[in-house]
A and B are shown apart, each in its own frame.
Chain A
Amino acid sequence: MAFPTITIALAGNPNSGKTTIFNNLTGARQKVGNWPGVTVEKKEGMVTFKGHQIKVVDLPGTYSLTAYSVEERVARDFILNNHPDVVVDILDASNLERNLYLATQLIEMGVNLILVLNMADVARSRGIDIDGQLLSQLLGVPVVFTVGKLNEGTQDLLEKVIEVAHQKKDKEKTIYVTYGKEIEEELGKISEEIVKAKPKLGSHYTRWLSVKLLENDPLAVREVKSWGKSGREVLDVTQKSREHLEEIYHEDPEILITEQRYGFIQGACREVIKTSTQKKIDISQKIDLVLTNRLFGFPIFIFFIWAMFQLTFTLGEYPMNWIDSLMSMIQTVVSNLLPAGLLKDLIVNGILAGVGSVIIFLPNILILFFCIALLEDTGYMARAAFLMDRIMHWIGLHGKSFIPMLIGFGCNVPAIMATRTLESERDRILTILINPLMSCSARLPVYVLIAGTFFAGKAGSVIFSIYLLGIVLAILTAQLFSKTILKGMSMPFVMELPPYRVPTLKSLMIHMWDRGVVFLKKMGGVILIGSVIIWALGTFPKNPDINKKYSQARKQIEAQYTEKIAGAKTPEEQAKIKAELEQALQVLNIKINQERMSKTYLGRIGKVVEPVLKPLGFDWRIGIALLSGFVAKEVVVSTMGVIYSGGEGEKAAEKSLQKALKAEQFNPAKAYAFMAFVLIYTPCLATVAAIRREIGTKWMIFNVVYSLTLAWVISWAIYHGGKLLA
């Protein structure tokens, strides 16, 4: 017997454990995407239970369902327009009163609601005893208890979902929040007008709309306005009601309504909650005494960030080496299997080289996102915002901006998407504009290569200083922008500090995997195409004459050394001369490769931009590496691989890029200027696309121009400053 698919929507406050419940329900079968039109993350999953297909949609976490933030609007629109069969409201049982505020709004919307009292164990340990049956009676809504982190109560919830989805809702039995005589009278008047204008809306929606109009909710007002003349009459009545209430209470109606809702909740809570002797051992509070301590707060914070980076880069080294060996093995096998020619060149030097240089950083990215998930799930992220707000506010940002900034170190794309938690558009624009200065993990391969080659022994400190440079520039940029183009007030801070929690491994793994998949997809798509384009630009037009041109020189060298070897007295001397021969041949090979490169399309483009880069000490070869970095910054490394160690010739390919670079006349100042340029200049295509999607083409162009200019200025200063010091 097949049942129709049941759609359920998960609603709830931030920090109510909604994500854990979602993971418990759907397991790994999740689809992560975006809500249409906005970039708030939308998660969906399927679960089969007792022959029923249940589609679970995770709504953004909100405290309320007004229309003042994108998240709230998304959640509200989904409930109103998509009519999910059941709305499941996840509540933090240890913080019932505030969590019930959202529930009252959902009840008012007349949805098929189930209340889930999550973290029931925490509540109990705090001596809070909730009578679920009584709560269910008082609110007219079924109540289920769960402990998300132990996966307790998931079965009960699914049973209840099926029960509620199949029962016809008894509209008469529904319990409303009542707002007191005066307000109810005005609500009655507004409802009457609405019924006159639109008789078929149904009693629930009519009442909900009346309340929203009385609250002066912009979306509700807009909807009624769209009705035309009859809508205007509704609004006229609403205006009179609002004025009447203000006259009596000397308060805005929205405040009166909020107070009444809380009054209703307080009444319910008094009846259902039994607080036993206060077990005042609040571990969370004790942890906080240390972690946000006046003296230790910042050192600990800096330590965590440092530890996160250490873990990412030292632990990540092992799997990186494995992947490296694996990739070179594949390359060797493919080289041996394919006949020499263009196809082999494309696969080995275009596709495999490009993908290989990126996939090697997958371990780093997974570890970094694991750490970020750990900070988020433990509740430390909110403390980081608490510690940092003073500084962020001074820059002209919100403490919450710090979180996207931190994620920016992983990848600017999810970081820019995470700015959606900021309410004010001004804060969002500013946070997005400076985010690319947070050095993402894609830029790391470039630093590792350059710092490892030219600052051996202190590569770690040099890379750290590049990250710091990015942060300093972000601060200066933010101050500049907030005093000029984005002058204006910041939004209210008001941020919940959830209790510290032990995160579940499952949730951390899912979080890490989601981000990893995004990275892989990006790699599979944009970077692969980019690598192939760059390979093609660097290969065509073919110049078969070049080897002929140098064959004479090659022969000369070989003849010269053959003579010497023949004249050698001891085997040792012979070996020494042989090594010299190889050296000489390699120098010639690089010369050939570079001459060949300079004739290709890529080389020609590099020559065109060379005059602009000359003052920074960069030549056309660095120019083409930087150009290829537009696709994605990690491509800079693979392009340099092609340019400096040369594509052709087995010997040259075997030489590591580092050795090839060392042969170049890179001095430390130039190397550092190059790293700074890579840090600052135009973010990768995916980031540019994310910026455009979030704040529009105008800001995207502004960001591209600004970052190019800044990169040039800073690199110039470093290069010339370094030359003075040297």
Chain B
Amino acid sequence: MKPLSTLKEGDRGIIVAINNNGTLRRRLLEMGFLKGTEIYVEKYAPLQDPMELILKGYHVSLRVEEAKQVLVELVSEET
């Protein structure tokens, strides 16, 4: 289990928990960041922040500091 922000481009993970109790968590939940959801790291922005993720078939971007609060289980490394 590790923070989503430690994943590299092309890595895949499964969401385990969100370590936040505020607005961020609520927004993430609405957008489908649920336990057990698979998440794919598409890329990091040119300045290494924010990062682009794919989940549930759509693209979403998250700041690295926010992604730190999403804990994931690494499924597969970049191929």
Query: Which residue on B lies nearest to A301, using beta carbons?
Result: B46
Min distance, Cβ A399 to any Cβ of chain B, angstroms: 7
A254 is an interface residue with CB less than 8 A from chain B: yes
Residue-wise, chain B 12-49 has the 8 Å CB interface mask toward A (1 for contact) of 00000000010111111111101100000011011111
Min distance, Cβ B22 to any Cβ of chain A, angstroms: 8
B26 contact set on A, CB distance < 8 A:
66, 68, 254
Number of A-B residue pairs at CB separation under 8 A: 103
Given A98-B32, A98-B58, A493-B66, verify A391-B47 contact (CB < 8 Å).
yes
B62 is an interface residue with CB less than 8 A from chain A: yes
CA distance A98 to B62 in the complex (A): 17
Residue-wise, chain A 473-516 has the 8 Å CB interface mask toward B (1 for contact) of 00000000000000000011111111100000000000000000
A173 is an interface residue with CB less than 8 A from chain B: no
Are A94 and B23 touching (Cβ within 8 A)?
no
A580 is an interface residue with CB less than 8 A from chain B: no
Indicate which residue in A297, A494, A496 contacts B24 across the interface (CB closer than 8 Å). A494
Min distance, Cβ A14 to any Cβ of chain B, angstroms: 11
Are B30 and A64 touching (Cβ within 8 A)?
yes
Indicate which residue in A258, A294, A491, A496 contacts B46 across the interface (CB closer than 8 Å). A294
CA distance A491 to B25 in the complex (A): 12
In the complex, chain A residues 438-491 whose Cβ is within 8 Å of any chain B Cβ: 491
Task: Give the segment of A2-10, A360-368, A382-390 that binds chain B.
Answer: A382-390
A725 is an interface residue with CB less than 8 A from chain B: no
CA distance A391 to B49 in the complex (A): 9
Indicate which residue in A387, A494, A498 contacts B45 across the interface (CB closer than 8 Å). A387
A335 contact set on B, CB distance < 8 A:
none
A292 contact set on B, CB distance < 8 A:
43, 45-46, 52
Residue-wise, chain B 41-67 has the 8 Å CB interface mask toward A (1 for contact) of 011011111101000111111110010
Are B29 and A63 touching (Cβ within 8 A)?
no
Min distance, Cβ A422 to any Cβ of chain B, angstroms: 13
How many residues in A have their beta carbons less than 8 Å from beta carbons of B? 40
B62 contact set on A, CB distance < 8 A:
493-494
A136 is an interface residue with CB less than 8 A from chain B: no
Min distance, Cβ A166 to any Cβ of chain B, angstroms: 34
CA distance A97 to B37 in the complex (A): 12
Are B56 and A97 touching (Cβ within 8 A)?
yes
Given A389-B49, A390-B48, A390-B49, verify A494-B56 contact (CB < 8 Å).
no
A298 is an interface residue with CB less than 8 A from chain B: yes
A324 is an interface residue with CB less than 8 A from chain B: no
> Interface SS of chain B: helix, strand, loop or mixed?
mixed
CA distance A97 to B50 in the complex (A): 24
Query: Which residue on B lies nearest to A389, using beta carbons?
Result: B50
Are B61 and A493 touching (Cβ within 8 A)?
yes
CA distance A94 to B46 in the complex (A): 28
Are B45 and A390 touching (Cβ within 8 A)?
yes
A68 contact set on B, CB distance < 8 A:
23, 26-27
A30 is an interface residue with CB less than 8 A from chain B: no
Min distance, Cβ B8 to any Cβ of chain A, angstroms: 14
Min distance, Cβ B78 to any Cβ of chain A, angstroms: 15
Are B31 and A63 touching (Cβ within 8 A)?
yes
Are A492 and B45 touching (Cβ within 8 A)?
no
Given A258-B29, A292-B45, A492-B23, verify A497-B60 contact (CB < 8 Å).
yes
Min distance, Cβ B33 to any Cβ of chain A, angstroms: 9
Given A493-B50, A494-B27, verify A258-B34 contact (CB < 8 Å).
yes
A313 is an interface residue with CB less than 8 A from chain B: no
Are B46 and A293 touching (Cβ within 8 A)?
yes
Indicate which residue in B35, B59, B63 contacts A389 across the interface (CB closer than 8 Å). B63
CA distance A389 to B67 in the complex (A): 15
Indicate which residue in B21, B25, B57 contacts A94 across the interface (CB closer than 8 Å). B57
B45 contact set on A, CB distance < 8 A:
292, 297, 386-387, 389-390
CA distance A63 to B27 in the complex (A): 9
Indicate which residue in A94, A101, A494 contacts B66 across the interface (CB closer than 8 Å). A494
Q: Among B25, B48, B59, B63, which residue has the most Cβ atoms of chain A within 10 A?
A: B59
Are B46 and A97 touching (Cβ within 8 A)?
no
CA distance A258 to B35 in the complex (A): 11
Are B60 and A496 touching (Cβ within 8 A)?
yes
A259 is an interface residue with CB less than 8 A from chain B: yes
Are A492 and B50 touching (Cβ within 8 A)?
no
A594 is an interface residue with CB less than 8 A from chain B: no
Min distance, Cβ A436 to any Cβ of chain B, angstroms: 27
Q: B-side interface residues toward A, CB under 8 Å? A: 21, 23-32, 34-35, 42-43, 45-50, 52, 56-63, 66
Q: A-side interface residues toward B, CB under 8 Å? A: 63-64, 66, 68, 94-95, 97-98, 101, 252, 254-255, 258-259, 262, 285, 288, 292-295, 297-298, 386-387, 389-391, 393, 399, 423, 491-499
16 more CB-based (< 8 A) A-B contacts, given A399-B61, A499-B59: A98-B31, A252-B21, A258-B34, A259-B34, A292-B45, A295-B46, A297-B46, A386-B61, A389-B45, A393-B49, A491-B23, A492-B63, A494-B27, A494-B31, A494-B66, A498-B59
Which 4 residue pairs spanning A and B have beta carbons closest together? Answer: A390-B47, A497-B59, A492-B24, A258-B29
In the assembled complex, 7 residue pairs joining A and B whose CB atoms fall closer than 8 Å, in A order, are A259-B29, A387-B46, A387-B47, A393-B49, A493-B50, A495-B60, A498-B58
